[in-house]
Amino acid sequence: MGEYVEAFLQCKMDSSEGDELRSSLEAVLADEKVAIELFKIQIQHCSKQIDGINAIAARKTPTHELMAKKRAFEGHKTVLNIAAQIQQCSYEVKGVQKILYFEKGDSSRERIIAEVSLMVYEWCEDLLEMTGRKFQKLAEGLLTQPDLLNFRIARQRLKDFFDREKSSLSSVRHNVGAHRDHDFMTERDILDKFDWVRTIGLLSEFEHLILGVSPYVQALIPAGLNQIDQAFNKN
């Protein structure tokens, strides 16, 4: 059955529908690259403001108002960093999708499928860590209660996915990515079980889960800007 599905998908990729998908992915990649550059500018601005406040605090006893401004910029920088990481993750997923969908050679597919396993493992681990207790404490002061609840539900879905897939992803990471055991037969057994169709589905599910978390992190950006505004305009 899997061979028929693979043949069907390959036929789709070789048709005009495949050309449209390739063009669509290239357009999205270009847009996401611009978004990443904008995040860099915003994070650099926050870092510059924090450095400026630190310089003032080093010259004289810092006031409560000055430290409130610093905390506002630090909180906003934290949010921007996580939002940028999610944007980078989305960008990398679409880049790998473009290669995975249109690659035909068996050896190249093995390499790409292994790369997908490594990428999904690392991003799941990183995003769950970044959106952990410290981040949620920050979010509690900025998000509405419904948005906070929906964020936690979306994060839990990502965690459930990682818990489900962690063993197989870890096996690829350990034996194929890092070659830690230097065991050819174990590595070859893993590679021989690679499934192109399943990997496409896995990557698509992971992308969907990331898109589920992203809106609530993005919602923190204007909330953080409002907090900065309040720190500078208390009167």
Which pLDDT does position 5 carry in this prediction? 44
* 196 pLDDT higher than 50: yes
For residue 133, the one-letter residue type is: R
**Structural domain contains residue 25:** yes
Q: Lowest mean pLDDT: which of 108-112, 159-163, 180-184?
A: 180-184
pLDDT in tens, 86-117: 999 999 999 988 888 776 655 577 788 888 88
Rounded mean pLDDT, 162-167: 94
Per-residue pLDDT band for 148 (boundaries 50, 70, 90) equals: very high
Does 165 map to a domain? Answer: yes
Which of these ranges, 18-27, 135-144, 220-229, has the smallest mean pLDDT? 18-27
Domain count, the chain: 1
Cα–Cα distances in angstroms (integers) from residue 126 to residues 46, 51, 122, 162, in the given order? 22, 27, 6, 11
For the entire predicted model, the pTM comes to 0.83
- The answer, yes or no, to whether residue 3 has pLDDT greater than 60, is no
Tell me: pLDDT of 132 over 90.
Answer: yes
Tell me the residue range of the domain where 109 lies: 13-232
Mean pLDDT of 179-200: 76
Whether 2 is in a domain gets the answer no
pLDDT band for 14, please (50, 70, 90 cuts): low
Residue 71 has pLDDT above 60, yes or no: yes
The overall average pLDDT reported for the chain is 86
- How far apart CA 196 and CA 205 sit, in angstroms, is 14
Kindly report the three-state secondary structure assignment for every residue of the chain: CHHHHHHHHHHHHCCHHHHHHHHHHHHHHHHHHHHHHHHHHHHHHHHHHHHHHHHHHHHCCCCHHHHHHHHHHHHHHHHHHHHHHHHHHHHHHHHHHHHHHHCCCHHHHHHHHHHHHHHHHHHHHHHHHHCCHHHHHHHHCCCCHHHHHHHHHHHHHHHHHHHHHHHHHHHHHHHHHCCCCCCHHHHHHHHHCCCHHHHHHHHHHHHHHHHHHHHHHHCHHHHHHHHHHHHHCCC
In the prediction, which pLDDT does 4 show?
41
Q: What is the pLDDT of residue 172?
A: 84
Q: Is residue 3 part of a domain?
A: no
pLDDT at 204: 92
In a domain, 5, yes or no: no
Tens of pLDDT, residues 82-93: 999 999 999 999
Asked if the model's pLDDT at residue 176 lies above 90, the reply is no
* 38 half-sphere exposure, CB direction, 13 A CA radius: 9
Q: Is 50 exceeded by the pLDDT of residue 1?
A: no
